[in-house]
Structure 1
Amino acid sequence: MITDGVEMRGLELGDAAALAEAFARNREYMRAYEPIRPEAYYTEAGQRARIEDLLADRDGGRLVPWVLVETAGGAVVGAINLGSIALGPLCSGGVGYWVDTAWHGKGLATAALAEVLRVAREEVGLHRVEAGTLVDNFASQAVLRKSGFEEYGLAPRYLHINGAWRDHRLFQRLLHDDPPAR
């Protein structure tokens, strides 16, 4: 359990229906932070196809995906991914996350991020983890800063979000200065 009432576990193909429900439930809120999604994204079949792609990336060593699940009832209330994993001299990855609006302000994103940073360092062997937020996503920026991330730049027109290219603030957290393990 990462916080009272919520566990964080690896994403599974069986999560498709619960993820579809969670995305549908949070659709209006997430619109400002996400690319425009096709209707199929909000269906069990759409999530099943998406999960298959994520699990293929996991199996290829490029991604570690988790879901945040209520212990009472099993509803998905968020997700967090450690992706864009590059080993060798870079030893870096990127983190992305979302939390159900009913769980905002309860420390869930911060707790999940702490666990991802532990895995990134201890299990994956990363030196650095990065994240980007829309310039006005102050809540996510607060989570990153609370988790030891430092802002290092601004990326103009970085991602196509909600129908337009949007600027993003870039953050990183250095985990250690040991030489690459592999």
Structure 2
Amino acid sequence: MVKIEGERCYLRTLVESDAKSLAELLTYNKYFWATYEPLHEEEYYTEEAQFKKILESIHLMRANREYSFGIFTKDRKYLIGHISLYAIKRLPYSSAFIGYSMDERFTRKGITSESVKLVTRFGFESVKLHRIEAYVSPKNEGSIRVLENANYTREGLLRELLYINGKWEDHYMYSMLQNEND
């Protein structure tokens, strides 16, 4: 288990006992997040499905291929979001993607920006990555602010990158290199 203490939040890799809280978080934010990511089949929002996803993420973490963190309130009582360092590739790439979602009730509090900075630092210092990338919808102004607050650089527009709820959507590509990390 990886634990990271922040000023506004506490991050730790998800474990099997988080399945119920994760399913509740996903269900509560289903339509809020659906603006920028696909809606899933109803089964996806169940505790059983999330239990399986957590088991898969633990397996991938052991193989150093993915780190899936829960974002918890500072007092560690409530799961309020999730953030992952995923699709980890070794040389010649030495890169990964970062992705995150925050409970609607906890947006605009700086918690997501702090979480991105913490996981980015973890990626460079502990996982020894050279580059971390992120995709973000041009419509998602909040997520663009998060990445820019974390000092990620917009590299360009990827046309019709993701199929979201019946429509192909463009996404910006953001990145940070190891030598650019604070």
Shorter-chain TM-score above 0.5: yes
1:122 is aligned, of 108, 122, 125, to 125
**Over 3 Å off, 4+ runs:** none
Give a deviation string over 1:7-29, Cα, whole Å, max 9, x none: 11111111100001111111110
Structure 2 unaligned regions, length at least 5: none
1:43 positional shift: 1.1
Once the two structures are overlaid, the 10-residue window that deviates more, 56-65 or 149-158, is 56-65
Give a deviation string over 1:22-79, Cα, whole Å, max 9, x none: 1111111011122220101111111111212222222222101100122557221001
Superposition TM-score, scaled by structure 1 size: 0.91
What is the DSSP-based 3-state SS (H/G/I as helix, E as strand, rest coil) of the residue aligned with 1:29? helix
- Give, in whole Å, the separation in 2 of the partners of 1:74 and 1:41: 24
1:137 is aligned, of 137, 140, 160, to 140
2:45 is aligned, of 42, 57, 66, to 42
Which residue number in structure 2 is paired with residue 78 of structure 1? 81
2:169 is aligned, of 139, 155, 166, to 166
- Supply the RMSD in Å over aligned alpha carbons: 1.5
Structure 1 unaligned regions, length at least 5: 178-182
Mapping 1:137-156, distance limit 5 Å: 137-156=140-159
Indicate whether 1:2 and 2:6 are aligned.
yes
Give a deviation string over 1:127-148, Cα, whole Å, max 9, x none: 1100010111111011111111
Which residue number in structure 2 is paired with residue 95 of structure 1? 98
- Give, in whole Å, the separation in 2 of the partners of 1:69 and 1:109: 11
Superposition TM-score, scaled by structure 2 size: 0.91
Give the residue type in structure 2 aligned to 1:18: S
What is the DSSP-based 3-state SS (H/G/I as helix, E as strand, rest coil) of the residue aligned with 2:179? coil
Which residue number in structure 2 is paired with residue 60 of structure 1? 63
Which residue number in structure 2 is paired with residue 13 of structure 1? 16
Cα contact 1:36–1:163 (8 A) shared by 2: no
Give the residue type in structure 1 aligned to 2:142: A
- Give, in whole Å, the separation in 1 of the partners of 2:67 and 2:85: 5
Cα contact 2:30–2:39 (8 A) shared by 1: no
1:2 positional shift: 1.7
Give a deviation string over 1:140-164, Cα, whole Å, max 9, x none: 0111111111111111111122232
1:82 positional shift: 0.5
Mapping 1:103-114, distance limit 5 Å: 103-114=106-117
